[in-house]
Amino acid sequence: MDKYLYLAMNGAAQAMLAQQNNANNLANISTVGFKAALDSFQSNPVSGPGYLDRVYSSNEAAGANLAPGAIATTGRQLDIAINGNGWFAVQAPDGGTAYSRRGDFRIDPSGLLLNGANQIVLGEGGPISIPQFESLQIGRDGSISIRAAGQAANTLVGVDRIRLVNPSQDQVYRGDDGLFRSRNAVELPADASVSVTSGALESSNVNAVDAMVRMIDYARFYEQQVKLMKLASENDAASSRLMRMSG
């Protein structure tokens, strides 16, 4: 089999992987606090006997675009947006601590504070549990205060404080579940400098126009690789005919 048939097959496979990542970005264009995944194509020489005259492409995950999304005012009491850099601490599916920018919070029937992805929001001592209340306020520092039923209008009781962290970009990475985690597997400390705005949400930072252009580019690249595979097949058939004629 001609080596460039293998290279074309590999190129088509890498284009499909990049298209999947791009499609996932587009699917999350309306997801609160979503960070677009980034791709990076690299050229690597084919090792082995003979001259290094051919290269294959590889699509390496280049992390995520951590730029903040636009802030939209909702007026909803439990909608929270982080101002500038920072993350909410949430409980990952495996029970560990992960980090998210998703601030569309709600309270489940048992009183647990969850985000829109049903992930438990963590406070200073673990999962945040909120008792029955008539009114609730979330301060700029993430502190949660409530007025219990039957209490005076000016009676507020502190419940907990949302754990807000602010690691450098190279300290976190995106997991397969879309959550971010600490690279050294150590829980990040709370950072008092991180502030939030109540009644607002951070939009996804996916650029729809850029994602559509990438979709077209990846589709064209895939078609080019398929044409190369077809050409390799035609060359192989022509070579077989010549061998039969010479025999």
∠ CA 129-97-17, rounded to 5°: 125
Closest of 147, 150, 125, 124 to residue 136, by C-alpha: 147
Confidence of residue 195 (pLDDT cuts 50, 70, 90): very high
Separation of CA 98 from chain center:
12
CA 49 to each of CA 52, 53, 54: distance values in angstroms, whole numbers, following the listed order: 8, 11, 12
What is the Cα–Cα distance from 86 to 67, expressed in whole angstroms? 11
pTM more than 0.85:
no
What is the Cα–Cα distance from 17 to 80, expressed in whole angstroms? 34
- pLDDT for res 156: 83
- pLDDT for res 128: 96
pLDDT in tens, 145-193: 998 877 777 778 889 999 999 999 889 999 888 899 999 888 899 999 9
pLDDT in tens, 65-114: 999 999 999 999 999 999 999 999 999 999 999 999 999 999 999 999 99
- pLDDT for res 216: 93
pLDDT in tens, 38-76: 887 776 666 666 656 666 666 666 689 999 999 999 999
Query: Looking at the predicted structure, is the pLDDT value of residue 213 above 80?
Result: yes
What angle, 0 to 180 degrees and rounded to 10, lies between the N-to-C axes of helices 3-27 and 208-246?
Answer: 160
